Amino acid sequence: MKSNHVVIVGGGVIGSAIAYFLAAHPRFQGQVTVIERDPSYVQASSTLSASSIRQQFSTPVNIQMSQFGFAFLRDIQQTLSVPEHAPEVGLQERGYLYLASESGAAALQENHLVQQTQDVDVALLDRAALAQKFPWLHVDDLALGSLGVHGEGWFDGYALLMAFRRKARSLGVTYVQTEAQGFAHQAGRVHAVHLRDGSSLACDWAVNAAGAWARPLLQHTGFDLPVVGKKRDVFVVSSPAKTPDCPLVIDPSGLWFRPEGQFWLCGIPPEEDLDDVPLDVDHRQFDAVWQIIAMRVPGFEALRMQRAWAGYYEYNLFDQNAVLGPHPLLPNLMLANGFSGHGMQHSPAAGRGIAELIADGAYQSLDLSLLSAQRLLDQQPLIEKNVI
Ligand SMILES: Cc1cc2nc3c(=O)[nH]c(=O)nc-3n(C[C@H](O)[C@H](O)[C@H](O)COP(=O)(O)OP(=O)(O)OC[C@H]3O[C@@H](n4cnc5c(N)ncnc54)[C@H](O)[C@@H]3O)c2cc1C
């Protein structure tokens, strides 16, 4: 390959995964620069995430990305170690439990069939089996549950981000603290990234990995990326309740909860889901959480909120799936956007995929072309039914 300077805008988990996979790629000879405006990552989704990983998707490509993600997390101490530091991401292997009432049971069964074609280790449990396995769960209104047996769980997302970043830097990647303002292009190719101070950084390739802030960077490129920030609140709660072997539970209402040390994390999609609102926790939402969680787990009637935070899903309004691969009009501008709540677990697969597109000219390990921006132009959504 003759091209040699790749500029990645956004040094969150996606940008840093791309940087690492490029720098580690045997056929990539160039230089990688990551532009990150806030190295403390205060508002980055990667630090505000619930950082869980599942295989229970309804589309094979999402399942395959998670399968690679899980294997990557398991081996991370070897893969991303640097001299005198082996990363510890605290991967807990624990299943997701999707719950369905009578009306949702058919969808769960349909998804199960897709998951079986991908060798996902998942079990369907009827009401009696749910009651037996999770005696602390209220099951009277449930018809079915889908429980991940292997290959799902949760981890420390900030540690994953730092591990990618540290390893990328050890391989020669440069992180620059500044803000990008857009991409300079001519004759169908990006040749520089405009910076806030009025200067530009020349490049042979550019990558948009700016998370919830990716859309405005593409103004003046002829493609409107329908990605917005959708705020999600996470509540940390304590309770005297006992929930042995608690999975990550997804209630039919959309409420989710999972254990975190001696506490539990929980959240629910907001009723009024506005775009790009400030990252302030809406404490009124906790009332809705409480009502549902205490119904689902009677022991949670005694529940105390310890703290809460809010972060953005970088939400693809078109079909809630990642937009990955070349910009439709500027082939040397790669998009890695719109993961819509599953970007932590998909960061290894996305990073490897974009690195292959740049270094090899095509996907080598896992074909991610279904996620390309072309589907938006063709008005062909890739529907993922299991969005949390
Ligand atoms: C509450 C919550 C729960 C979640 N739970 C899960 C989960 O369980 N599992 C899962 O897989 N995913 C989950 N996600 C989603 C996941 O966190 C995101 O998909 C992922 O972090 C996206 O990474 P990113 O690098 O694209 O974005 P970010 O981490 O937001 O990084 C983007 C970076 O770009 C920088 N940037 C933006 N614009 C510019 C610019 N113009 N110039 C320079 N720098 C710029 C920002 O400062 C930021 O650091 C959750 C998200 C939230 C908010």
| Pairing label, strands 31-35, 5-9 | parallel
Local confidence band at 3 (pLDDT 50, 70, 90 cut-offs): low
Q: What is the pLDDT of residues 8-34, one digit of tens each?
A: 999 999 999 999 999 999 999 999 999
How far apart CA 68 and CA 81 sit, in angstroms, is 18
Residue 32: exposure state from Cβ atoms within 10 A (0-12, 13-18, ≥19): buried
* Minimal-distance CA residue to ligand 1 atom 5: 50
- Compute how many other C-beta atoms are within 10 angstroms of the C-beta atom of residue 12: 29
Q: What are phi and psi of 351, to 5 degrees?
A: -60, -45
- Asked if residue 2 has pLDDT above 90, the reply is no
Q: What is the pLDDT of residues 328-368, one digit of tens each?
A: 999 999 999 999 999 999 999 999 999 999 999 999 999 99
How far apart CA 14 and CA 44 sit, in angstroms, is 11
Ranges of each domain in the chain: 5-85+156-226+318-377, 93-150+228-316
How far apart CA 57 and CA 336 sit, in angstroms, is 19
State in Å, rounded, how far the first CA of the chain is from the last one: 40
Query: How many angstroms does the Cα of residue 144 sit away from the middle of ligand 1?
Result: 33
How far apart CA 320 and CA 340 sit, in angstroms, is 5
pTM over the 0.95 mark: yes
Residue 60 and residue 35 in contact, taking contact as beta carbons nearer than 8 Å: no
Query: How many angstroms does the Cα of residue 212 sit away from the middle of ligand 1?
Result: 7
Query: How many angstroms does the Cα of residue 311 sit away from the middle of ligand 1?
Result: 8
What are the helix (H) ranges across 180-231?
214-217
Q: What is the mean pLDDT of residues 194-219?
A: 98
Q: What is the pLDDT of residues 129-156, one digit of tens each?
A: 999 999 999 999 999 999 999 999 999 9
Query: How many angstroms does the Cα of residue 188 sit away from the middle of ligand 1?
Result: 28
Q: What is the pLDDT of residues 49-93, one digit of tens each?
A: 999 999 999 999 999 999 999 999 999 999 999 998 999 999 999
Q: Which residues line ligand 1 (CB under 6 A)?
A: 9-15, 35-38, 41, 44-46, 48-52, 179-180, 209-213, 217, 232, 234, 311-314, 339, 341-345
pLDDT, residue 362, reads 98
Pocket test for ligand 1, best of 276, 279, 344 (most atoms within 8 A of CB): 344
Pocket test for ligand 1, best of 49, 256, 384 (most atoms within 8 A of CB): 49
How far apart CA 358 and CA 202 sit, in angstroms, is 17
Return the CATH number of 5-85+156-226+318-377, one of 3.50.50.60, 3.30.70.380, 3.40.50.410, 2.120.10.30: 3.50.50.60
Which residue type occupies 330?
L
Question: What is the atom index within ligand 1 of the atom nearest the CA of 50?
Answer: 5
Question: What is the atom index within ligand 1 of the atom nearest the CA of 154?
Answer: 8
- Say which CATH superfamily domain 93-150+228-316 falls into: D-Amino Acid Oxidase, subunit A, domain 2 (3.30.9.10)
pLDDT, residue 284, reads 92
- Asked if residue 244 has pLDDT above 70, the reply is yes
Query: How many angstroms does the Cα of residue 44 sit away from the middle of ligand 1?
Result: 5
- Asked if residue 1 has pLDDT above 70, the reply is no
Question: What is the atom index within ligand 1 of the atom nearest the CA of 345?
Answer: 11
Helix (H, G, I), strand (E, B) or coil at 35: strand
Q: What is the pLDDT of residues 253-304, one digit of tens each?
A: 999 999 999 999 999 999 999 999 999 999 999 999 999 999 999 999 999 9
Question: What is the atom index within ligand 1 of the atom nearest the CA of 17?
Answer: 25
- Asked if residue 236 has pLDDT above 90, the reply is yes
Pocket test for ligand 1, best of 45, 158, 221 (most atoms within 8 A of CB): 45
